A and B are shown apart, each in its own frame.
Chain A
Amino acid sequence: GNSVTQMEGPVTLSEEAFLTINCTYTATGYPSLFWYVQYPGEGLQLLLKATKADDKGSNKGFEATYRKETTSFHLEKGSVQVSDSAVYFCALDDDRGSTLGRLYFGRGTQLTVWP
């Protein structure tokens, strides 16, 4: 079956620190991988995605590389800001190439950045 495991939080960092949030997955077929972000009181927003092995998704200084050999999609940012404080969700969609988008989510990682 399909599942996503991501590191448990909460993660607390000082501003300008380096961030890594680990994510590994189990999937049948060839999944696309996603990171979604949820700011306080809001719905989820797509942060970045990668659709095939070795692809790197990037947005707003965040990066994640699709590693098929380790079934991982770790989220990284070189210098976090207070405004990055949010909950981050790793997800996969095994309907690759389709307009259908059934997602399987990890449990989320709360990130708090202090000034």
Chain B
Amino acid sequence: NAGVTQTPKFQVLKTGQSMTLQCAQDMNHEYMSWYRQDPGMGLRLIHYSVGAGITDQGEVPNGYNVSRSTTEDFPLRLLSAAPSQTSVYFCASSFKETQYFGPGTRLLVL
């Protein structure tokens, strides 16, 4: 199993640009989530999904959209990037209280 994969690893955007961070898992987990990690802040939940077609907001959802058309994929969309969205983004899937994290996407918004 590949586990949780994320693409791209690194991305630089200009303010106002849009992009999609990809996340996929091959473990057939129903629950998936997106976190952002900022220095001194730990991980904060952006959006999560409890299954295909079902998504909900976490702590810091503003500026981000998600959809879940399949069990495997859970993309995160930035419609109009802002410098405040400079961060490291982690996708995770969950089974029986254990979360499995992807390697992360490092995003810089200029």
User: Residue-by-residue, is B85-110 near A (CB-CB < 8 Å gives 1, otherwise 0)?
Assistant: 00000101011111111111000000
Residue B30, interface by CB 8 Å: yes
Binding site for B on A (CB under 8 A): 32, 34, 36, 42-46, 49, 51, 89, 93, 95-96, 98-103, 105-108
Contact A101 B43 (CB under 8 A): no
* CB closest residue in chain A, given B50: A100
Task: Spell out B's residues near A (CB within 8 Å).
Answer: 4, 30-31, 33, 35, 40-45, 48, 50, 58, 90, 92, 94-104
The total of Cβ contacts below 8 Å across the A-B interface reads 63
A89-B42, A101-B97, A107-B40 are known; give 9 further A-B pairs, CB within 8 A: A43-B103, A43-B104, A46-B98, A95-B97, A100-B50, A100-B94, A102-B33, A105-B35, A106-B42
Q: Is the CB of A107 within 8 A of B41?
A: yes
Q: Return the 6 tightest CB-CB contacts between A and B, nearest first.
A: A101-B94, A43-B101, A107-B42, A105-B42, A105-B43, A44-B101
Q: Describe B's contact surface by its main secondary structure.
A: strand
| Structural contact, B103 and A42, CB atoms closer than 8 A | yes
Task: Give Cα A114 to B77, complex, Å.
Answer: 41
User: Smallest distance from the beta carbon of A110 to chain B beta carbons, Å?
Assistant: 10
Q: Determine the distance from Cα of A108 to Cα of B42 in the docked complex, in whole angstroms.
A: 6
Q: In the complex, what residue of chain A is closest to B96 when comparing beta carbons?
A: A99
From B4, B97, B102, B104, give the contact of A93 (CB < 8 A).
Answer: B97
B43-A89 in contact (CB<8A): yes
